[in-house]
Amino acid sequence: MLNDHAKLMQAIRVSGEIVGRKKLQKMIYIAKKIDFPFQDRFQFHFYGPYSEELTTRVEELCNMGFLNEVKEKKGGYFQYRYTLTEEGKEFLSLNQVEMPHLEDVLTDMNEQNARFLELVSTVLYFDNLSKEEVTDKVFTLKSSQRYTLEEIDEAYQYIEDLKKKTAAVMELN
């Protein structure tokens, strides 16, 4: 019952706040790819994997008054800051979702910038391809971002670290 809404709210709650729509999209996608049970379907768009369903859910939660969206001017563009409202916290307390270890993973991702998460999510999107092919994809589809080979290596390393982090926390429990 509104379980998918509750999962998204839980993700924002454990992150404290998430700044940027692109960042939110990439965080949920990466979490989904490392096996957290988010149901939203993603397709490849301009900034990498993107879910229309997730965008809809965020808008719905804002309209319901469960999510607070603050539009802020940053340099030449606007960005959006998301936090849970008091009403949202109350809703979540009545609709608890179990996603152990989510906080560790999302906190880590929240400390990264959106540009890097865009690269990480793109690498994960093409996880059926070899590293060489992925690199080629990044250079072709993301040419405007001018990612370097070193950054692509970092993205691979980051994915490994996230997976280890999830596995390590699971072992501890």
Residue with smaller CB distance to other proteins, 2 or 99: 2
The site for other proteins (CB under 8 A) is made up of 1-2, 5, 20-22, 25, 39, 41, 43-47, 50, 55-56, 59-60, 63-66, 76-80, 87, 91, 94-95, 114, 125-126, 137, 140-141
Residues 107/11, Cβ–Cβ less than 8 Å: no
As measured in angstroms, the least distance from the Cβ of 151 to other proteins is: 19
Both structure tokens of 6: 């509750």
Cα 24 to Cα 12: distance, rounded to the nearest angstrom:
9
Q: Give the three-state DSSP class for 111.
A: coil
Enumerate residues 6+ apart whose C-beta is below 8 A from 69. 58, 62, 80, 81, 82
Residue with smaller CB distance to other proteins, 52 or 168: 52
Both structure tokens of 30: 């990466």
As measured in angstroms, the least distance from the Cβ of 65 to other proteins is: 5
As measured in angstroms, the least distance from the Cβ of 22 to other proteins is: 4
As measured in angstroms, the least distance from the Cβ of 156 to other proteins is: 19
Residue with smaller CB distance to other proteins, 55 or 103: 55
Residue with smaller CB distance to other proteins, 59 or 160: 59
Residue with smaller CB distance to other proteins, 116 or 165: 116
Cα 52 to Cα 110: distance, rounded to the nearest angstrom:
21
Enumerate residues 6+ apart whose C-beta is below 8 A from 78. 71, 72
As measured in angstroms, the least distance from the Cβ of 64 to other proteins is: 4
Q: Which helix (H) or strand (E) holds 69?
A: strand 67-74
